[in-house]
Structure 1
Amino acid sequence: MSIQSCSKDDAAAGPQPNSNTNTEENNNTGTDSGTEDDDGSITIYKVEGDKIVKEKDYKVTGKLLEFQKDTKKHQEIWNLVKRIIPANYRSRMSEFVIFAGEKDGTAGYVVERTRDLSKWQMGIAIDFAYQGGFNTRGELAYTIVHEFGHIITLDKVQVDSSVSQGGCKSFFTGEGCSRDNSNINKLYQNHWADIWEEFRKVNNENDAQKFYDKYKERYVTQYASTNPGEDIAEVFAMFVTTANGVHGNSRAEQKIQQMYDNPEMINLRNYIRGNIAKSSRSFLPAPGSWKNANTFGNKDKMHCGRHNKH
């Protein structure tokens, strides 16, 4: 089983005409639990500066109730979010959700909370966050970096939500029309436009596997081939978590180089790596470990793909 990582509504991180599911990492155990919404939601918090303030506890039972009561774990997850996302970017988050991802394989997600894409909700799966111990092998940190990658490539700075798909002359995300000079539009124009019609014919897992096998040289992970939104989030995550720079000229490495050519992305990378390096604990995954095909396999521990209900 693998895990999915994208924005909470799948269209937000990918092309509207093609509703692919996402895949990301693997590791999972069953839970005897339920919620009033039956999607694993446990507790929702409002983000107020550096703090999270409880807004609502969902009606849950079984293991989910145990997770709900363990607010120290909620805070520990949030503390790691704060170490990774700088305060001026964290101000774009209005809500933070603790949920259980076992049912649909979701590790995390983000979803826009305002029409103009200025505010976002982030959700983190507490069961995956503590599987094998807190942030085992840096997987939680990677999930947070990936989700943050969605926010900084899909927010109002990068995407104009007032432009419809019919009026969009650049890459259209689920949230709106990407701006001409946006990171996601550059990635689409340089690395997706020439294979877009072929990609749109992907209708099932077998098609997706064939598509990836044919174009794997273009992707930093198999999960990145899900759609442009997941691609750029994976590129950002690999850019941040991998220690060394680009040493080749594959399509995948060209995408990483696009990050190195962007001063904002370099500053974010330096902040995340420098802030985490202040601790004696290892918060990031080992370089290269996220390229393992078993990690980005056939299912989804999504950083997205959940329906917007809050």
Structure 2
Amino acid sequence: MEENNLPSQTTNNLNPNNSSPETPPPIIAPAPSFFKKHLWKIISGILALILIFFVILYFLPYDEEYDDLGMNDINFEDELGNLDDELNNTLKENENTTNQLLENNNIVSYLDNLEYTDEEENGTDLVTYLINTDNTLQQDYLNKTAKYKQEVNNIDEHEFIWNYTSEIFSNIPEKNYIKKFIINTDGPEGNLASMHLSDTNTWEIYVDPADVLKNGKVFDSMDFIYTVVHEFGHLITLNERQVDHGIYYEDECETSLISEGCPYVTSYYNQFENLSMMTKESDFDNWLDAIDTGDEDEIYYFYEDHTDNFVTPYAATDQAEDIAESFTNFVLRDKPTSNTTLKDQKVNFFYQFSELVNMRQQLRDNVLVVDNTFFSKPLIIK
């Protein structure tokens, strides 16, 4: 058997027969781990990377973008201030874009110095525009009278007035009922604007530039806005979802027949009329009698005796004007703090309808687009 080169192993070191002790086996140290073996290399590498980073940072040209990455000292208050400035600038840019639509320094008002005859007191249609689906205008009728030639062709003015008016109705679906925009005039201090349902059941809005513009500028935005919202109130309460325009006879109408047709039982108009009838029956009947006379003085005297029943003197004109005036005050004034008088109840009437409350907010937002100081001033109506 071949001899083993390894040293012999002692099986019993305490054997007394051995004259001398055997040499103990050498202690073999465990091999160092990879980490310990290369520790100095790892440390050297990290230090080298740190050194390279600072060298690059030192020699790299300054760029404002490093502020965004947090590589320079940041003053967060300044940064927030800058963000506010950027936001305000964006809002101003949007406002300026809108103002460019609503302000045109090149407008000339050709109606400012015209003289009017008695025959024209009821108003004269100068131009009729069809309203396209994209809110642009398309001429449909032109008045051929030589006296109005310049105004008939005053398209910049007409578009300005339409943009101003339609902005107040923007983002409200009922605006789509309006199919025609008509430039009409009866001279200064006459009928500023009106909304009518035509014989063909088409809603048309009329505006008189002579009562809107002076030297190419809107000279009384509060009065114009109030009037436009009032006319929109007619549209809201008398459109085809509120009134059956195909009924012309009282015996066919379940409610009270009006010139636009028969209001549905659930219509705003009918419910509002029921509210008005909750006052003294004699007062309501006397009011209707005054309306039937058509005598403006008699109607005004009735108003003077019942000022708690109407939001304005004009509201006493008839029931359609009563609900339109109440709607306008619902939109443009704060909610009444009480509900004791009939005129307050008439304004509060609209708050029971969530869709009208939402419409109110949209109209108020739109008003601020055309006049951002409107609600900071007392509402004074001529």
Instruction: State whether residues 300 and 316 of structure 2, in contact with CA within 8 Å, keep that contact through their aligned partners in structure 1.
Output: no
Instruction: State whether residues 330 and 347 of structure 2, in contact with CA within 8 Å, keep that contact through their aligned partners in structure 1.
Output: yes
Q: How many residues align?
A: 260
Q: Tell me the equivalent position of 1:120.
A: 203
Please give the secondary structure, in 1, of the residue aligned with 2:131: strand
CA–CA distance in 2 between the matches of 1:130 and 1:150? Answer: 24
Aligned-pair CA distance for 1:67: 2.8
Instruction: State whether residues 84 and 276 of structure 1, in contact with CA within 8 Å, keep that contact through their aligned partners in structure 2.
Output: yes
Aligned-pair CA distance for 1:234: 0.8
- 1:260 correspondence with 2:355: no
Instruction: State whether residues 114 and 120 of structure 1, in contact with CA within 8 Å, keep that contact through their aligned partners in structure 2.
Output: no
CA distance 1:33–1:288, shift in 2 (3 Å): closer
Q: Which runs of 5 or more residues in structure 2 are unaligned? A: 1-110
Q: 1:245 aligns with which of 335, 338, 349?
A: 335
Within 5 A, what are the aligned runs for 1:208-219? 208-219=299-310
Question: Normalising by the residue count of structure 1, what TM-score does the alignment of the two structures yield?
Answer: 0.75
CA distance 1:287–1:236, shift in 2 (3 Å): farther
Q: 2:165 aligns with which of 76, 81, 95?
A: 81
Q: Which has the higher strand share?
A: 1
Aligned-pair CA distance for 1:128: 0.4
CA distance 1:108–1:70, shift in 2 (3 Å): same
CA–CA distance in 1 between the matches of 2:376 and 2:145? Answer: 32
Please give the secondary structure, in 2, of the residue aligned with 1:121: strand
Q: Which moves more between the two structures, 280-289 or 260-269?
A: 280-289
Match for 2:338: what amino acid? G
Greater C-alpha radius of gyration = 2
Aligned-pair CA distance for 1:145: 0.8
- The percent of aligned pairs where both chains have the same amino acid is 23
Aligned-pair CA distance for 1:197: 2.5
Return the structure number with greater relative CO, CA threshold 8 A, min gap 6.
1
CA–CA distance in 1 between the matches of 2:320 and 2:116? Answer: 32
CA distance 1:188–1:289, shift in 2 (3 Å): same
Instruction: State whether residues 80 and 141 of structure 1, in contact with CA within 8 Å, keep that contact through their aligned partners in structure 2.
Output: no
Question: Normalising by the residue count of structure 2, what TM-score does the alignment of the two structures yield?
Answer: 0.62
Aligned-pair CA distance for 1:187: 1.5
Match for 2:213: what amino acid? Y
- 1:199 correspondence with 2:199: no
Give 4+ residue runs of structure 1 displaced > 6 Å after superposition. none
CA distance 1:70–1:224, shift in 2 (3 Å): same
Aligned-pair CA distance for 1:265: 1.4
Q: Which runs of 5 or more residues in structure 1 are unaligned? A: 1-27, 296-310
Within 5 A, what are the aligned runs for 1:113-262? 113=198, 117=201, 119-131=202-214, 133-134=217-218, 136-163=220-247, 164-192=249-277, 194=281, 195-202=283-290, 203=293, 204-242=295-333, 244-249=334-339, 250-262=341-353
CA–CA distance in 1 between the matches of 2:128 and 2:376? Answer: 27
User: What RMSD, in angstroms, separates the aligned Cα atoms of the two structures?
Assistant: 2.8
Q: Tell me the equivalent position of 1:46.
A: 130
